[in-house]
Amino acid sequence: MTASTIKPQNQALTLNPSELRLRHILKTLPREVFIKDRRKAWTSVAISVLLACLGYVSIAFSPWFLLPLCWIFTGTALTGFFVIGHDCGHRSFANRRWVNDLVGHTMMLPLIYPFHSWRILHNYHHAHTNKLDEDNAWQPFKPEFYGSAGRPLQWGYQAIRGWFWWVGSIAHWALLHFDWSRFEGKQRSQVKFSSLLVLVTAAIAFPILIATIGIWGFVKFWLAPWLVYHFWMSTFTLVHHTDPEIPFKPESEWNEAMAQLAGSVHCDYPRWVEILCHDINVHVPHHLSTAIPSYNLRMAHRSLKQNWGQYLRECRFSLSLMNKIVSECHLYHPQENYESFQSYHSSLKDNKK
């Protein structure tokens, strides 16, 4: 961003970026984007449940060579379950907290995802988006930390920042979301409840599945779609927060409004993915306000393009996009934002000469 001032269209604001606050941006959004619609919310639940059921039926009756397509469809439909739980975690699904908690737990339970731990950690990410050493959603390692890490951690980090990015959310899920000792007070009790709920469910359901349909049945009906779901979770997270031009800033330089407006990415995916995932790809308005329900994100994005379009980052999901991210965006660099593994190791070799 090279502009020294911000001049949103149709607004009388002219602000230096350092003076920009979220309220300046939110005032330009239509009031309707913040309104919850009970019919739309529950329709999204019905759509996800019906599509997931359709996916499981297709798995049950399809020949073996069509199973990968069935897994992709079903896993993507299950990602829609998570997006509804995502709205519940932000309290944008319903007005009553107990409804958000009930629906959130219900939708995330088939994914073996603890609702409260995800809700708390994810809201922390929203409060510290692209803040160095604070954002808990896959921020880049600093070179000095990476260099001092053991080989297993280096290899693991290279994998999820490379072509194995799609398993990154599995590591995030396993390492962060079941440890209630990380939390305190009421939050610890909530996280413990959510964690034990999914663990007990898995301990009961998985043996029953294996006993009734066998190991292959368990893989076919649960594990394979679950891996597809994590593919989308990993991909959405990485693409929406990673670009060679997006900086991670130390707290002293961090501006919340600019981090949310220009530090998250809108990415267009195939339309069937966007439908099954309830427009979670329309990411920028969601970062500006978590109060916007998923079914209002497109309306909010149109308003942002009209008023703040010069600061929005937009792209289209493709192999070339992923190649750009996994080839360049590895380690933190204070001037260039990112340093690749290749550049880092080349520098080490040069320093040893």
Tens of pLDDT, residues 226-258: 999 999 999 999 999 999 999 999 999 999 999
pLDDT tens digits, 266-283:
999 999 999 999 999 999
Report yes or no on 7 lying in a domain. Answer: yes
Please report the pLDDT score of residue 14 as a whole number: 57
Report yes or no on 283 lying in a domain. Answer: yes
pLDDT at 193 over 50: yes
pLDDT at 302 over 60: yes
Written as six digits, the tokens of 136 are 């808990």
The residue range of the domain holding 24 is 1-34+255-317
Please report the pLDDT score of residue 15 as a whole number: 61
Report yes or no on 128 lying in a domain. Answer: no
Report yes or no on 289 lying in a domain. Answer: yes
pTM: 0.92
The 3-class secondary structure across 333-346, one letter per residue, is: ECCCEEECHHHHHH
Closest residue by Cα to residue 294 from 37, 73, 26: 37
Burial classification of residue 181, based on how many CB atoms lie within 10 Å of its CB (0-12 exposed, 13-18 middle, 19 or more buried):
exposed
Q: How far apart are CA 300 and CA 304, in angstroms?
A: 6
Query: For tokens 């739980």, what's the residue?
Result: 85
Report yes or no on 287 lying in a domain. Answer: yes
Report yes or no on 111 lying in a domain. Answer: no
Local confidence band at 7 (pLDDT 50, 70, 90 cut-offs): very low
Helix (H, G, I), strand (E, B) or coil at 156: helix
Span 37-63, mean pLDDT?
A: 98
Span 93-105, mean pLDDT?
A: 97
pLDDT at 73 over 70: yes
Q: How far apart are CA 246 and CA 259, in angstroms?
A: 9
Give the total number of structural domains in the chain: 1
